[in-house]
Structure 1
Amino acid sequence: MDLRRFITLKTVVEEGSFVRAANKLCCTQSTVTFHIQQLEQELSLQLFEKIGRRMCLTESGKKLMPHVHELTRVMASIRQAAQQNSEPEGELRVATGETLLAYKMPQVLQRFKEKAPRVRLSLQSLNCYVIRDALLNDEVDLGVFYRVGNDEALTCNAIGEQTLALVASPALLGADFTRTDQHLPLSFVINEPQCIFRQLFESQLRARRITLENTIELWSIESIKLCVAANLGVSFLPRFTVTRELQDGTLVELPFSDPPLSITALCAHHAGKVVSPAMRVFMTCVEECCAAGK
């Protein structure tokens, strides 16, 4: 079988049409059509059916796709193994948590661009649980995120323990979160429910039997800090995200835990994945910029 035909099939599925697949593969639409027809003849099954104006995978085609993804992954691994000593190039898919992206990654990205100018970097900001699943499903090559549980199938490099801080406006300096069995008429300003530091904070409140008035959910860490500074509530964030505000007095830290709670930042990839030159350079940049506390 011609491996190019499986690449064509994968591209058609990813791009959603024969025309867009042809554009991505830099060939004609007739070439894409020919590859699919030849593959259907070799496999003795129909891969696509026309529904309205769209070409959709048949049930047989859907069952075939996991094997096609595995085949292309193996091909990519072989290609990477042959290029271990070459200059990094190609595409690198990286996913990172929002706080790490905003406060830790700019220096990493700048250094990576200098060291690997020929690499096309695809960068996504995702929830840590989603990043772990994306690594396991080979949807991204590297993840920079916080440890969120079972990671036995991943190769993880710890890049530092990040302490967490309960912060508020100076007007709330007297709020006491260390006393159990109480209701505090305050809002908790934080991001989505699967946020690892939100989960830690809420777990501590349950253990101490402390209730708050309500929760305000915002996606942006900067928006969260502005709301807290405006006395709209308290938040529980990695300390590195509020260092400036604590120094200038815009925010104050409230006593919460001794020693402070912390989360582990990781740079990880699938344990079965061949480490490409681009991946190796990126991991080195992360270690140089993050693990050293720069």
Structure 2
Amino acid sequence: MNLKRFLTFKTIVEEGSFLKASQKLYCTQSTVTFQIKQLEQDLSLQLFEKIGRKMVLTQAGEKILPHVYELTRVMENIEGTAQQESSEPTGELKVLIAETQLAYKMANVLKEFRIRAPKVRLSLQSQNCYQIRDDLMADKADLGVFYRVSNDESLKVHEFKQEPLVLVASPLLQGMDLQRVGQHIDSGFISNGAKCLFRHSFESIIQERNISIDNMIELSSINTIKNCVQSNIGISYLPALPLKKSYKKAACKSYRLPRLRK
């Protein structure tokens, strides 16, 4: 069972409401609600019930409350002992990162983290943005670095600067113009897969403009996609960050793809 959910349960009881508990835990109210629902599923018990406008403990919730206090006291004692033994951070940190962020932006950050927290076990995994969001909401990871997708209201979000998306193609495709409505593009579109955020954005734009394209090509990595675009195998829609070297070498043609005005 996830100990974080027991801490959330204890905090709700102490603070008197889901809202106040979320403020103390520095997360959204929907995150607190989600964690309690998950805990109720784990225990096969209903812990709270709504009476009027308030959520109050059920009899089952009252019965397990003393055990939750005992559990949290044990955890606090363990953490206190560990802190006395070492002033440096310890434990495990599970981080999920979008591939382009990991490859082109986070390397120096992770290097600095290893210097400052050498005793922390860093679990690092590259995933698509939708999977990162879902895993964070399901408490399967501690931190995610990814391009923001919809339905993430349950997450505590810190936004960095916006990363523009650009259409990238071989210089051989000089005549291609995706600004023109109602046409067929005699080229393939290359992406990381069906759940790729950049592919969804591109498909939304061409559907809006009634543009069809030959076929969808799914490849494993951004570098592979770049190489195939340079070889005129297809076009792609990517963040500008991993394409900076391509700009310098003039190996790719890239430009913004704004939406139609209505």
Q: Distance in 1 between matches of 2:219 and 2:89?
A: 38
Scaled by the length of structure 1, the TM-score of the pair is 0.60
| Contact 2:205–2:259, Cα closer than 8 Å, also in 1 | no
* Superposition pairs of residues 150-169 of structure 1, within 5 angstroms: 150-169=151-170
Amino acid at match of 2:209: R
Deviations 1:114-150 (A, max 9, x none): 1111111000111211111111111111011111112
The yes-or-no answer on 1:66 pairing with 2:42 is: yes
| 2:235 aligned partner, one-letter code | V
Tell me, yes or no, if the aligned pair for 1:177 and 1:255 is still in contact at 8 Å: no
RMSD of aligned C-alpha atoms? 3.1
Corresponding residue for 1:239? 240
Change in CA separation of 1:255 and 1:126 when aligned onto 2, cut-off 3 Å: closer
SS of 1:112's partner is helix
2: distance between equivalents of 1:206 and 1:183?
Answer: 12
The 1-side partners of 2:168 and 2:114 are apart by 35
Q: Which residue of 1 aligns with 2:231?
A: 230
Distance in 2 of aligned mates of 1:254 and 1:134: 33
Q: Structure 1 pair 119/228, CA: closer, same or farther in 2 (3 Å)?
A: same
Partner of 1:100: 101
Query: 1:87 Cα shift?
Result: 2.2
2:129 corresponding residue in structure 1: 128
Please tell me whether the aligned partners of residues 168 and 254 of structure 1 are also in contact (alpha carbons under 8 angstroms): no
Quote the residue 2:15 is aligned against.
Answer: none
Distance in 1, matches of 2:73 and 2:209, equals 53
CA contact (8 A) 1:93 1:121 kept: yes
Unaligned runs of 5+ in 1: 1-5, 8-62, 260-294
Q: Which position in structure 2 is the counterpart of 1:181?
A: 182
Q: Aligned partners of 2:147, 2:75: CA distance in 1, in Å?
A: 27
Structure with the greater relative contact order (CA < 8 A, sep ≥ 6): 1 or 2?
A: 1
Q: Which amino acid aligns with 2:42?
A: P
Note the 1:39-54 alignment, pairs <5 A.
none
CA shift in 2, pair 1:76/1:67, >3 Å: farther
Structure 2 unmatched ranges of 5 or more: 3-38, 45-67
Q: Secondary structure of the equivalent of 2:234?
A: coil
Report the equivalent of 1:251: 252
Once the two structures are superposed, residues 88-132 of structure 1 have per-residue CA deviations (whole angstroms, 9 ceiling, x without a partner) of 111111011111111112111101011111111000111211111
Cα offset for 1:201?
0.6
Match of 2:139 in 1: 138
1:245, CA displacement in angstroms?
A: 0.4
Aligned to 2:89: 88
Q: Classify 1:223/1:145 alpha carbon distance in 2 versus 1 (closer, same or farther; 3 Å).
A: same
Following the alignment from structure 1 to structure 2, what is the Cα–Cα distance between the partners of residues 138 and 75? 22
Q: Cα distance 1:255–1:162, how it changes in 2: closer, same or farther (>3 A)? A: closer
How many residue pairs match? The answer is: 196
Who is 1:195 aligned against? 196
Moved over 4 A (4+): 73-83
Matched letter for residue 160 of structure 2: I
**Residues 110 and 64 from structure 1, CA distance in 2 versus in 1: closer, same or farther, beyond 3 angstroms?**
same
Shift of 1:86: 4.3
Kept after mapping to 2: 8 A contact 1:189/1:234: yes
Q: CA deviation at 1:160?
A: 1.6
Residue 176 (structure 1) shift: 0.4
Helix, strand or coil at the partner of 1:159:
coil
- Check conservation: 1:188, 1:216, Cα contact below 8 A: yes
| Contact residue 165 and residue 256 of structure 2 kept, 8 A | no
Q: Larger strand proportion, structure 1 or 2?
A: 1
**1:173 shift after superposition:** 2.4
Per-residue CA shift, 1:201-259, capped at 9, x if unaligned?
11000000001111111011111000000011111000001111012101111452279
